[in-house]
Chains A and B, each alone.
Chain A
Amino acid sequence: MLLITCPHCGPRAELEFAYAGEAHIARPTDPMALDDESWARFLYHRANPKGLHAERWRHLHGCAQFFNVVRDTVSDSIVTTYPAGQPRPALPGDDKGATR
């Protein structure tokens, strides 16, 4: 049972949350302009890294807000959490940081 710090409510047990997949995959503003390949990338292709992973959780049984978490998928330790809409923060050892 992870201990997840909701940016709005503070640290709570994992049971209060719902996992919602990789973060920072913005829905294209004009999907119809995309070719099939690009659309499939948006829909299905995932980084699935072994290491730091920016992902979305929803505080379902709390404030009901979606927010972002950077978690190490090897240790399951959580490095940071931040509200939806904010860019992935720059973190030591994280070359994917500060991107949207």
Chain B
Amino acid sequence: MSGFRHSTAGRVDRNKPVRFSFDGKTYQGFAGDTLASALLANGVHLVGRSFKYHRPRGIVTAGSDEPNALVGIGADEAHYAPNMRATQVEIYDGLVAESQNRWPSLGFDVGAVNETFAPFLSAGFYYKTFMWPPKAWAKLYEPLIRRAAGLGRAPTQADADRYTQVYAHCDVLVVGSGPAGLAAALAAATTGGKVFVCDEQSEMGGSLLAETTATIDGLSARDWVARALADLAARPNVTLMPRTTAFGWYPHNFLGLCERITDHMAKADPKLPRERLWQIRAKEVVLATGALERPLVFPDNDRPGVMMAEAARIYANRFGVKPGDKAVIFTACDSAYRAALDLMAAGVAIATIADLRAAPCGPWIDRVRSAGIAIRAGTVVTGTTGRLRIDSVSLATVGIDGNPGSSENIACDLLLMSGGFTPSVHLFSQSRGKLVYDEALQAYLPGISVERERSAGACRGIYDLDKVLSNGAASGTGAAKAAGFAAADTITFSTTADSVGTDGFIGVTPFGGPSSKARAWIDFQNDVTAKDVRLAIREGFRSIEHVKRYTTTGMATDQGKTSNMNALGLVSETLKVPVPQVGLTTFRPPYTPTTFGIFAGQSRGDMFDPLRKTPIHDWAAEQGAAFEDISLWKRAHYFPKRGEDIHAAVARECKATRGAVGIFDASTLGKIEVVGKDAAEFMNRMYTNAWTKLEPGRLRYGVMLREDGFVMDDGVVGRMATDRFHITTTTGGAPRVLSMMEDYLQTEWPGLDVWLTSTTEEWAVIAVQGPLARKVLEPLVEGIDLSREAMPHMSVREGRICGVPTRLFRVSFTGELGFEVNVPAGYGRAVWEAIFAAGQPHGMTPYGTETMHVLRAEKGFIIVGQETDGTVTPDDAGLGWAIGKAKKDFVGKRSLARPAMTASDRKQLVGLLTVDSKTVLEEGAQIVADPAQPIPMTMIGHVTSSYWSATLDRSIALALVRGGRARVGTRLSVPMPSGPITVEVVEPIFYDAKGARLDA
């Protein structure tokens, strides 16, 4: 024994000393230690401060249920993680840990002054005060409360680690690798099914790792674990997953698991992720999640040195750590007697065992008695003392009136408590299985399963080792069978282990009656005492959910693992109703707090969302184009030359296109091929336009509505043949257009002979626009006569360009003579470069989406999503002409006949010219008739598009204005913070109204 470490006992590797620091001081532990066991081995019990009162707190448990021992871990900010449970943190050389929620130091914490005000800081006190003056809450009180709240601190730098995600399927997923889980895994594995076994701990074996006396099949518990794990590891159909927490159960047997990969390594391979999210679809699940020991609720039960009895046993047996020199044990069940013997063997003096039960009996009690340990039946703890560590306990015998008699003080440095066990039904409950309250066990147990699930062992209230093993094996066999695998033999086990029974206690121990002023903690982390719960009940909070929310009991980072049943017991006792009538708070994922990073996984930076690039993207990037995001696409926004800002670049691009010729990458346009005998009929039904009479070789601008009558998408459609249409859609709209078309085709009109194919990615689209467009293209084209007569505006021809097959559209979104060259995407860049080279003698200029917007606005062409917003009808947008009046039906037609859709004061598309031609309106600015009216003003419309037109040397704008068409020629006002701007309402076309340039 050196310090508090036994010289041989436990499973730590004494050949591998590990140095770590806590609050700046360096300590030594061994490989295999948790931070908690290593600190205890160094005699450190004070590890944290509580949430509200800043009470000194120590280590209570040895697992993921730890409420107190939360620390910040990380040598630098990019690796810092707050609120880590010291009971789960594995130490490594160089580990840096710090305590939280204290200032200036853990030993002397100014925040502990809150203790003085404790009488005023009752449950929900903040609902009753801080109301005057009204503004003071947000300015004064709330900042104070916020500073006081929170435990750890968030890292101040971006996380430097990576996280990954894996999907997997298995036949049987076993959650937990204690005796039930191992037995289930062995049984399932022998059937040949694919078995996954996960456990949140670094070592598999669960409670057996701390077992020193029981034997299984003639082996010590630990040897049996080693043999079982070796057996499982040798099987190719079994995957063992230590350090892996099954945190969430989602519908259809889909579970989320978090595997911690590098947190325990001093130097991790940089290729490894820190953690990995497993998303597992399991045919069958065996839950072997064990049970958690319950604290007892008595005055000042929160001092450092007050610990769960089973946790102390684990520290002694598994880590070879002596958690104190002299212990008092307070128990309501037999298992603490087993702990007493193990601790005594580890060198801890057991001063006495206070047993809440009037007449404890059984083999463990006998054994303790014969070991010479004093047992006091019917005895409670009425208080403890000690500032930073417990130094004494007061005990009193409970009289026949149920109240304790006079107290006796016993010095000690360790107080172990055990209120019995609470089955871990979290995942079962998450799976929506029905929980049933068992009066005898005072526990909620798994009832009827909803998903394909079995609970085995302690998590269903079975505690005796032989029964746990046989129940585990039966569950494993049953699960494999249900997954379609036949079991060879029934696995049986022979064990030697005495039963520790099923006694326990929930609620508050009888330390002084309901009016006692003493503070007995129910929820350690959130500082909720029995008094707080009683106050909530007094104030009318009866549902356990209300009590929980009002007092915050069970809402800390341990999610009430140690506190929920005691809170339930107290509410039940106070209201004098049975526990099941109090209700049960819902178990929600995750089982233990789970890192955000694993959910994000690789979805970071450029991988956040798929990125779509056109075949010409790289060319544009080489030219120094600025890009903008439009849905998943990157589009060239403008092509600045040296020293140009966006305005200069766009003005130059506009002038070049109007004056000579521009080239534009329109490849992002959605494209759908509609083919079949009934293609025209289908088009008639989907679009507002009439298609029957459109001749092959002609183009038409089509408008598509949603069934509610509002504009959904638009685009130019080419009829390639009587039974073939080449549709274009907006850049962002292609998927929803295709989906809607498929929907109608498949489910409403399955009889139509039509096939739909997305061809967006098949074609690169090169728009060549401007008076010289024909001149540039003519020499490059084979088999197509580009002349005005042979190929008029709104026509399409098939032929070749630069030796590549093309669908050549004569179409213009600029108002100039224009072509859109469709070529197979693979040739896109080559054809683009060839056209660009051919265009150079003519002054060809590349332009981006901004110039495209300006040019189309000068012509009054709308952009769906800018001039329309899901509340705009075709008539509103000035597209009434595109409605096939003779058609009996099309998608959206009936909705257009609703009263509000035909009202004369609907917002209609108009043009706006600012009276001061230099003023460019702001897009989104609101329009009023009278700018002098008081606020709230009557707004009659808004600016949808607004640009500086270099061509016209003035500003232009498009707007939707109530009854707008009737207002053409009148003046309206756009009130801005700097003052109103007067505008004249005009027709929504500013350039070449007759379309002569288009037809050139």
Touching chains A and B, CB distance < 8 Å: yes
Q: Which residue of A lies closest to B281 (CB)?
A: A3
Q: Which residue of A lies closest to B758 (CB)?
A: A64
Instruction: Please state if B899 and A3 are interface contacts (CB–CB under 8 Å).
Output: no
* A26 partner residues in chain B, CB cutoff 8 A: 748
Q: Which of B250, B747, B888, B895 has the most CB of A within 10 A?
A: B747
Instruction: Please state if A36 and B748 are interface contacts (CB–CB under 8 Å).
Output: no
Chain A 1-24 interface mask (CB, 8 Å, partner B; 1/0): 111000000000100001010000
Minimum CB–CB distance for B435 against chain A, Å: 16
Pick the residue among A43, A78, A84 that contacts B747 (CB under 8 A). Answer: A84
In the complex the two chains form, what is the Cα distance from A32 to B891 in whole Å?
11
B707 within 8 A of A: yes
In the complex the two chains form, what is the Cα distance from A60 to B889 in whole Å?
28
Pick the residue among A31, A66, A77 that contacts B746 (CB under 8 A). Answer: A66
Minimum CB–CB distance for B857 against chain A, Å: 33
* A13 partner residues in chain B, CB cutoff 8 A: 167, 281
Q: With A36-B898, A43-B708 as given contacts, are A77 and B251 in contact (CB-CB < 8 Å)?
A: yes
Pick the residue among A2, A64, A76, A85 that contacts B742 (CB under 8 A). Answer: A64
* B254 partner residues in chain A, CB cutoff 8 A: 1, 3
Q: Which residue of A lies closest to B742 (CB)?
A: A64
Minimum CB–CB distance for B822 against chain A, Å: 24
Instruction: Please state if A1 and B894 are interface contacts (CB–CB under 8 Å).
Output: no
In the complex the two chains form, what is the Cα distance from A77 to B253 in whole Å?
11
Q: With A1-B254, A3-B254, A32-B888 as given contacts, are A84 and B894 in contact (CB-CB < 8 Å)?
A: no
Instruction: Please state if A31 and B251 are interface contacts (CB–CB under 8 Å).
Output: no
Instruction: Please state if A32 and B897 are interface contacts (CB–CB under 8 Å).
Output: yes
B893 within 8 A of A: yes
Pick the residue among B167, B748, B888, B895 that contacts A39 (CB under 8 A). Answer: B895
Chain A 64-100 interface mask (CB, 8 Å, partner B; 1/0): 1110000000011110000011000000000000000
Chain B 238-258 interface mask (CB, 8 Å, partner A; 1/0): 000000000000111110000
* A64 partner residues in chain B, CB cutoff 8 A: 742
In the complex the two chains form, what is the Cα distance from A3 to B255 in whole Å?
12
In the complex the two chains form, what is the Cα distance from A71 to B226 in whole Å?
45
In the complex the two chains form, what is the Cα distance from A39 to B896 in whole Å?
11
Instruction: Please state if A27 and B748 are interface contacts (CB–CB under 8 Å).
Output: yes
In the complex the two chains form, what is the Cα distance from A85 to B748 in whole Å?
9
* A56 partner residues in chain B, CB cutoff 8 A: 747
Minimum CB–CB distance for B736 against chain A, Å: 10
Minimum CB–CB distance for A2 against chain B, Å: 5
Q: Which residue of B lies closest to A39 (CB)?
A: B894
Pick the residue among B253, B707, B750, B889 that contacts A43 (CB under 8 A). Answer: B707
In the complex the two chains form, what is the Cα distance from A63 to B345 in whole Å?
67
* B279 partner residues in chain A, CB cutoff 8 A: 1
* B742 partner residues in chain A, CB cutoff 8 A: 58, 64, 66
Instruction: Please state if A32 and B893 are interface contacts (CB–CB under 8 Å).
Output: yes
* A1 partner residues in chain B, CB cutoff 8 A: 250-252, 254, 279, 281
Instruction: Please state if A85 and B747 are interface contacts (CB–CB under 8 Å).
Output: yes
Q: With A31-B889, A85-B750 as given contacts, are A18 and B739 in contact (CB-CB < 8 Å)?
A: yes
Instruction: Please state if A75 and B739 are interface contacts (CB–CB under 8 Å).
Output: no
B743 within 8 A of A: yes
Q: Which residue of B lies closest to A4 (CB)?
A: B252
Q: Which residue of A lies closest to B888 (CB)?
A: A32
Q: Which residue of A lies closest to B892 (CB)?
A: A31
Minimum CB–CB distance for B734 against chain A, Å: 14
Q: Which residue of A lies closest to B891 (CB)?
A: A27
Q: Which residue of B lies closest to A68 (CB)?
A: B747
* B432 partner residues in chain A, CB cutoff 8 A: 75
Instruction: Please state if A76 and B747 are interface contacts (CB–CB under 8 Å).
Output: no
* B899 partner residues in chain A, CB cutoff 8 A: 36
In the complex the two chains form, what is the Cα distance from A65 to B750 in whole Å?
12
In the complex the two chains form, what is the Cα distance from A34 to B750 in whole Å?
23
Kindly identify, within residues 888 to 913 of chain B, every residue whose CB is under 8 Å from any CB belonging to chain A: 888-889, 893-895, 897-899
Minimum CB–CB distance for B684 against chain A, Å: 14
Instruction: Please state if B894 and A34 are interface contacts (CB–CB under 8 Å).
Output: yes
Minimum CB–CB distance for A14 against chain B, Å: 8
Instruction: Please state if B894 and A31 are interface contacts (CB–CB under 8 Å).
Output: yes
Instruction: Please state if A3 and B748 are interface contacts (CB–CB under 8 Å).
Output: no
Minimum CB–CB distance for A51 against chain B, Å: 15
* B281 partner residues in chain A, CB cutoff 8 A: 1, 3, 13
Instruction: Please state if A2 and B739 are interface contacts (CB–CB under 8 Å).
Output: no
B450 within 8 A of A: yes
Minimum CB–CB distance for A66 against chain B, Å: 5
Q: Which of A31, A43, A56 has the most CB of B within 10 A?
A: A31
Pick the residue among B252, B750, B893 that contacts A31 (CB under 8 A). Answer: B893
In the complex the two chains form, what is the Cα distance from A43 to B899 in whole Å?
16
Minimum CB–CB distance for A28 against chain B, Å: 8
In the complex the two chains form, what is the Cα distance from A56 to B636 in whole Å?
39
In the complex the two chains form, what is the Cα distance from A1 to B279 in whole Å?
9
Q: Which residue of A lies closest to B451 (CB)?
A: A77
In the complex the two chains form, what is the Cα distance from A1 to B893 in whole Å?
38
* A39 partner residues in chain B, CB cutoff 8 A: 894-895, 898
Instruction: Please state if A2 and B708 are interface contacts (CB–CB under 8 Å).
Output: no
Q: Which residue of B lies closest to A56 (CB)?
A: B747
Instruction: Please state if B747 and A66 are interface contacts (CB–CB under 8 Å).
Output: yes
In the complex the two chains form, what is the Cα distance from A78 to B253 in whole Å?
13
In the complex the two chains form, what is the Cα distance from A77 to B251 in whole Å?
7
Kindly identify, within residues 722 to 752 of chain B, every residue whose CB is under 8 Å from any CB belonging to chain A: 739, 742-744, 746-748, 750
Q: With A32-B888, A32-B889, A75-B432 as given contacts, are A20 and B895 in contact (CB-CB < 8 Å)?
A: no
Instruction: Please state if A20 and B743 are interface contacts (CB–CB under 8 Å).
Output: yes
Kindly identify, within residues 24 to 52 of chain A, every residue whose CB is under 8 Å from any CB belonging to chain B: 26-27, 30-32, 34, 36, 39, 43
Minimum CB–CB distance for B749 against chain A, Å: 9
Minimum CB–CB distance for A75 against chain B, Å: 6
Kindly identify, within residues 701 to 733 of chain B, every residue whose CB is under 8 Å from any CB belonging to chain A: 707-708
Minimum CB–CB distance for B166 against chain A, Å: 14
Instruction: Please state if A30 and B889 are interface contacts (CB–CB under 8 Å).
Output: yes
* A34 partner residues in chain B, CB cutoff 8 A: 894
Chain B 331-372 interface mask (CB, 8 Å, partner A; 1/0): 000000000000000000000000000000000000000000
Q: Which residue of A lies closest to B890 (CB)?
A: A31
In the complex the two chains form, what is the Cα distance from A18 to B742 in whole Å?
13
Q: Supply 4 further A-B pairs (C-beta < 8 A) apart from A1-B251, A30-B889, A84-B746.
A: A20-B743, A27-B748, A65-B746, A78-B252
Q: What are 18 A-B interface contacts by the 8 Å CB criterion?
A: A2-B252, A13-B167, A20-B743, A27-B707, A31-B893, A32-B894, A36-B898, A36-B899, A39-B898, A43-B707, A43-B895, A56-B747, A65-B746, A66-B742, A75-B450, A76-B251, A77-B251, A78-B252
